[in-house]
Amino acid sequence: MSLKKDLSLIHVMSIMKLKSQSSKLILSYLWWVLEPIFHVLTFYVVFKYLLGRGEGDFFTFLMVGQIPFLWFQKGVVAASTSLGQNLSLMMTKPIPKYIFPTVDIQEVTYKQFFVFFVLLCFLSINGSLVGTNWFDFIVIIAVQYLFMLGIGWLFSICVAYTPDFSMIIQVLMMGLMFGSGVFWDVNALENESLKEIVFTFNPMVSILDAYRVVLMHKTELDYALLLPAIVFGLMFCILSLGMFKFCNASLTKRLMA
């Protein structure tokens, strides 16, 4: 299959999954927006009122951090189990295996467009969008998508070979949520060496900080901030594509076991 046909297939399969899922829920498409809002409100109440740790405009800080992270979390978790869930289709159609995790990531991304729209409406109402650099915002979204592809593809291969790895992914996502600066400002770390390590080896820290730089602080975005996410994203994509190609028969055999 050509790349153009692959992209078209990914789009069609993503739309079909969206329609299938929404038809099973009473509130249908509204859940795409309601679910992340409920997540933000829950953690806001916990940190602001129960723990008393939310300072300043904590709700905006939390919203700008958690909404992109939920996109990452949902996309990667869905992609990680995609190969096993599509085994029957895989056996009847000569579809490249990388398409299946990509479909799940793309499906979550289509939902995220609506969530981002709600986020931007909220920021517009409280005046935070004045002076926003929209080009930088689009660049951050593209970089996060690239990073999600790399992680999602690699995790789908890991789960195909070792199904128990899906449990590790759940724990990893929980750890990343608390360690990526969703609820706290990583820039507040006093140890500069530790801060550099965190920004370098956890690309989600850089991505979430970049969203806040553009949407909240209105300062100029240093594209070097996104370099770790780009490097890791490309590295994982290339590695995963190589494994999809050279381990194709082995993957199919393992999935059928």
Residue at 169 is within a domain = yes
Question: pTM (2 decimals)?
Answer: 0.94
Other CB atoms within 10 Å distance of the CB of residue 119:
22
Residue at 25 is within a domain = no
Please enumerate in sequence order all residues whose Cβ is within 8 A of that of 78, keeping only pairs 6 or more positions apart, or say none: 104, 105, 107, 108, 152
Half-sphere exposure of 17 (CA within 13 A, CB side): 22
Gap between the Cα atoms of 226 and 223, Å rounded: 5
Gap between the Cα atoms of 182 and 175, Å rounded: 11
Share the mean pLDDT of the chain.
90
Residue at 17 is within a domain = no
Residue at 6 is within a domain = no
Residue at 4 is within a domain = no
Burial of 60 (0-12, 13-18, 19+ CB in 10 A): middle
**Three-state secondary structure call for residue 24:** coil
Tell me the pLDDT tens digit for each residue of 42-57: 999 988 888 777 677 8
Structure confidence at residue 24 (pLDDT): 66
Chain Cα centroid distance, residue 115: 13
Domain range for residue 252?
A: 33-256
pLDDT exceeds 80 at position 79: yes
The residue among 74, 36, 40 whose CA lies nearest residue 60 is: 40
Mean pLDDT, residues 152-169: 95
Report the number of distinct structural domains present in the chain: 1
pLDDT exceeds 60 at position 243: yes
Residue 35: band (very low, low, confident or very high) from pLDDT cuts 50, 70, 90: confident
Whether the CA torsion 232, 233, 234, 237 is positive or negative: it is positive
Residue at 78 is within a domain = yes
Burial of 220 (0-12, 13-18, 19+ CB in 10 A): exposed
Whether the CA torsion 236, 239, 245, 246 is positive or negative: it is negative
Show the tokens assigned to 145: 């998508």
Residue at 140 is within a domain = yes
Residue at 123 is within a domain = yes
Show the tokens assigned to 61: 């800080």
Tell me the pLDDT tens digit for each residue of 125-156: 888 777 788 999 999 999 999 999 999 999 99
